Chain A
Amino acid sequence: MARKMLVVHPEKCTACRLCELACTFHQDGEFHPLTARLTVGIFPEEHVFVPIVCEQCEVAACQEACPSGAIWRNAVTGALEVDTSRCVGCRMCVMACPFGTMVHAEAGGKMQKCDLCQGDPQCVVACPWGALEYVEPNDAALARRREVARRLAEVLKGVTV
């Protein structure tokens, strides 16, 4: 069985940022959007809102860039996690990550990142609209294809060639 991952549906996002709050309250016990492991990109003029999450990449730039070997993959969740005993806080991972989802902890100076809340991501729990899902990627892709098919069927309805 494929591992679950975070799948984002920007069209369902309302820009409430509850995901950012739930993230830091669970991870750090405080409400602190700056250190949330995900961020909602808000573009009010275009009426577009896009949550950006850690993709837990198979070939992960953060892991490749880490000089102290502090980033390891949790075999159960598939999440890349930071071993704070090895992290030297050099922030190479910040430079390397194409999504900008590495976070520098103010206290202690070590790096933090999304660990999928050990398999129960609180951002997903907090989202009122299902804009974040924790599912198997092929299930998500299949559901998307079915949705597109349904819309296409609407368009084709009554069309005879």
Chain B
Amino acid sequence: MTGWTGKMLRVDLTAGETSVEELCRHDLRDFVGARGLGSRLLYVAGAYAVDPLAPENPLIFATGPLTGTYAPSGGRYNVLCRSPLTGAIAASNSGGYWGPELKFAGFDLIYVTGKAASPVYLWVNDGRAEIRPADGIWGKTVSETEDAVRAQTHPEAKVACIGPAGERLVRIACVVNDKSRAAGRSGVGAVMGSKNLKAIAVRGTRPVRVADKEGFKAARKRAMEKILSHPVTSGGLPTYGTAVLVNVINAHGAFPTRNFQTGVFAEAERISGETLAKEYLVRKKACFACSMACGRPTLIPSGPFKGSGEGPEYEAAWALGADCGVSDLAAVTAANWQCNEMGIDPISYGATLACAMELYQRGYLTREQAGREMRWGDGQLLVEGVRLTALREGIGNLLAEGSYRLASEFGHPELSMTAKKQEYPAYEPRAVQGIGLNYATSNRGGCHVRGYTISSEVLGIPEKLDPLVPDNKAFWVKAFQDATALVDSSGVCLFVTFAIGAPEIADLLAAATGEAYTTESGLLAGERIWNLERMFNLKAGFTRADDTLAPRLLSEPMPEGPARGQVSRLEVMLPEYYRLRGWDEEGRPTEETLARLGLKW
């Protein structure tokens, strides 16, 4: 097989057994790989009905057919399971080198079920696998774990692991690979921890092949010409990283500040990508096969936060910065490093701390209950809080549950800025209407990388839309969501879509796999994947009532800035969105829609 390896590694941690299975060619073609293929396997397994932290919840590490090739930024993989944060489907995407290494080891994906009796790690070496005790490794931070596992396996092994947060079933724990790349969202690290699985080390020495070499080379060349000439992918991202957006989004009054109490952060410049580049950036760094190099190796030479690591990226700079009212870039950077080391999603962590700070501001959370003051802008608390959360110490035990459970604990769930219990990222739905519809309908809850309408509404790619109006946003949200599902499933990074789209991805997929992907069939696959995820969530008990936003965004007018006076117009956009999707008024795909997408089993 080309593009795909056609093989999956099945691991039963309860039985302590591993086996190799062939993947169904029809599933590969129809669901492409990575996010799509993993979702298909979760659905077939009935994972929507399991307790997310029970041994029965499958934990899938899945690559796409372009992973491991020189397709633009072709180094991604997804971690999938039922999320312990949301109860919805989880598919978290990561870069680095781990995903390609899995392909070189001969597998498209690893499918883990069960629970080991005591902590273990998995060693995958060129088509073979071994479950090994993790005594002496359990409890270690991410970089310590990676070094220890590599020392016990192979110097060239790539390692994906959990930190102390995943071990303690922190609902916002992530899986980290290559020390600083994370499958960040939806608490996939807690599911790994619930299985007593500390790490997966992979070593692969085999080739990845494509069906049509000349066709692949030509398709890649066409795509790269666009990526290397687009100002975002060849200029903004390499030079300033994703945090180049801080000043842009703030200027639109769309930079959520102090738990979304406003959309303007007066000190945004201080936590921007430009300031990071000036103060702490060492150089730019790329993931596998990527020309954009948005990774930010950083170094703080002196002061209380002295050290080095990677990041922050835009979303982390926002969550740890503006959302908590913190403008000390050193504190934001150090907190980001701590998140990498402890294995915590910095978006959900920052947003949950921001929620706690607002509870404190309003007197719903007292100093006695928190065990300390919880004031806006406290950089020391921001950094220390990561460890407290990972170890579930003091107030950290509540932060570890995410903002919805935290706010509910104190009787004010309305102060949790979440959709389906997952924290929103760094764009204000009152200032950018389409992104609000995307948050509300995202299959994994609050998330920007399911349908990144910021691209059109703010950056004007592929065309400029007025962010303040709801008109036609349903159309664009659906278009972005379907295209993104295709991109995520192919194994390339979403960021390439600033410069290229479904036509280029389809050409690469066709040349790699030999299947007749076209722009139309590729986008149909994306829509199929989106609807399959939706079906998963409906079976998990979600309804139309869950396709909503925090009350603040729907009823409290934005107090200042370019979006002053605005609320989210979700009530206008949502029915139109359902109609365009071919769903009924309750948000369920109709029989005709399922038949059109080949989802009637």
Tell me if A101 counts as interface (CB < 8 A to partner B): no
Q: Are B70 and A31 in contact (CB under 8 A)?
A: yes
8 closest A-B pairs by CB: A16-B286, A32-B207, A30-B207, A128-B291, A21-B70, A14-B286, A14-B293, A47-B297
Which of B178, B179, B213, B285: most chain A CB closer than 10 A? B285
21 contacts between A and B (CB under 8 A): A14-B283, A14-B285, A16-B288, A16-B289, A16-B293, A17-B97, A21-B70, A25-B70, A30-B208, A30-B210, A31-B207, A31-B210, A32-B207, A32-B208, A33-B104, A44-B297, A47-B282, A47-B297, A47-B308, A49-B285, A128-B228
Any chain B CB within 8 A of the CB of A66?
no
What chain B residues lie within 8 Å of A44 (beta carbons)? 178-180, 297
Chain B residues whose C-beta falls within 8 Å of the C-beta of A28 in the assembled complex: 207
Chain A, residue nearest B221 (CB)? A125
- In angstroms, Cα B104 to Cα A35, docked, is 12
B132 contacts the other chain (CB 8 A): no
A129 sits at the interface (CB 8 A)? yes
Contact flags A1-36 to B (C-beta < 8 A → 1, else 0): 000000000010011111001101100111111110
Interface centre among A14, A21, A34 (most CB of B within 10 A): A14
Which A positions have Cβ atoms within 8 angstroms of B?
Answer: 11, 14-18, 21-22, 24-25, 28-35, 44-45, 47, 49, 126, 128-129
Q: Is the CB of A16 within 8 A of B290?
A: yes
From B179, B207, B288, residue with most partner A Cβ within 10 Å? B207
How far apart are the CA atoms of A18 and B71 in the complex, in Å?
Answer: 10
Which A residues lie within 8 Å of B209 (CB)?
29-31
Q: Which of B263-286 contact A (CB under 8 A)?
A: 282-286
B residues near A128, Cβ cutoff 8 Å: 228, 291, 293
* Residues of A contacting B289 in the complex (Cβ-Cβ under 8 angstroms): 16-18, 21
Residues of A close to B179: CB separation below 8 A: 44
Which residue in B288, B293, B299 is a CB contact (below 8 Å) of A129? Answer: B293
Residue-wise, chain B 66-106 has the 8 Å CB interface mask toward A (1 for contact) of 00111000000000000000000000000001000000100
Most buried by A among B213, B228, B297: B297
Which residues of B are at the interface with A, using a C-beta cutoff of 8 A?
68-70, 97, 104, 143, 178-180, 205-210, 213, 217, 228, 282-291, 293, 295, 297, 299, 308
Who on chain A is nearest to B298 by CB? A47
B1 to chain A, nearest CB (A): 13
Give the complex CA separation of A14 and B285 in angstroms: 5
Contact B207 A16 (CB under 8 A): no
A126 x B286 contact (CB < 8 A): no
**With A14-B293, A16-B287, A32-B208 in contact, is A47–B299 under 8 Å at CB?**
yes
**Chain B residues near A47 (CB-CB < 8 A):** 282-283, 285, 297, 299, 308
Please give the distance in Å from A102's CB to the nearest CB on chain B: 16
CB proximity of B120 to chain A, nearest CB, Å? 25
| CB proximity of B513 to chain A, nearest CB, Å | 14
B97 surroundings in chain A (CB, below 8 A): 17
A114 to B283, CA, bound (A): 29
Q: How far is the CB of A49 from chain B (nearest CB, A)?
A: 8
Distance in Å from the Cβ of A39 to the closest Cβ of chain B?
10
Chain A residues near B143: list those with CB within 8 A.
45
Pair B286/A34 contact, Cβ less than 8 Å: no
Given the interface pairs A25-B70, A33-B104, A44-B178, the reply to whether A18 lies near B207 with Cβ below 8 Å is no
Chain A positions within 8 Å of B217 at CB level:
25
Do the beta carbons of B291 and A21 come within 8 Å of each other?
no
Whether A14 contacts B284 by the Cβ 8 Å rule is yes
Residue of B68, B143, B228, B283 with most partner-chain A CB within 10 A: B283
Nearest-CB distance from A107 to chain B (Å)?
10
A14 and B291 CA atoms in complex are apart in Å by 9
What A residues does B297 contact at CB under 8 A? 44, 47
A15 engages B208 (CB within 8 Å): no
Cβ-defined contact, B282 with A22, below 8 A: no
A31–B68 touching, CB < 8 Å: yes
Q: How many angstroms between the C-alpha atoms of A15 and B210 in the bound complex?
A: 23
**Complex Cα–Cα for A44 and B308 (A):** 10
Give the complex CA separation of A129 and B291 in angstroms.
8
Q: How far is the CA of A127 from the CA of B398 in the complex (A)?
A: 47
| Nearest chain B CB to A146 CB, angstrom units | 22
Given contacts A16-B290, A22-B70, A31 and B285 within 8 Å (CB-CB): no
Task: Kindly list chain A residues whose C-beta atoms are within 8 Å of the C-beta of B283.
Answer: 11, 14, 47
Closest partner residue, chain B, to A49 (CB atom): B285
A22, A24, A126: the one within 8 Å of B207 (CB): A24
**CB <8 Å contact, B70 and A32:** no
Chain A residues contacting B69 (CB-CB under 8 Å) are: 21, 31
Nearest residue (CB) in B for A11 is B283
Name 15 extra pairs, CB < 8 A, besides A18-B289, A32-B104, A47-B283: A14-B285, A16-B288, A16-B290, A24-B207, A25-B213, A28-B207, A30-B207, A31-B207, A33-B104, A34-B205, A45-B143, A45-B308, A47-B308, A49-B285, A128-B228
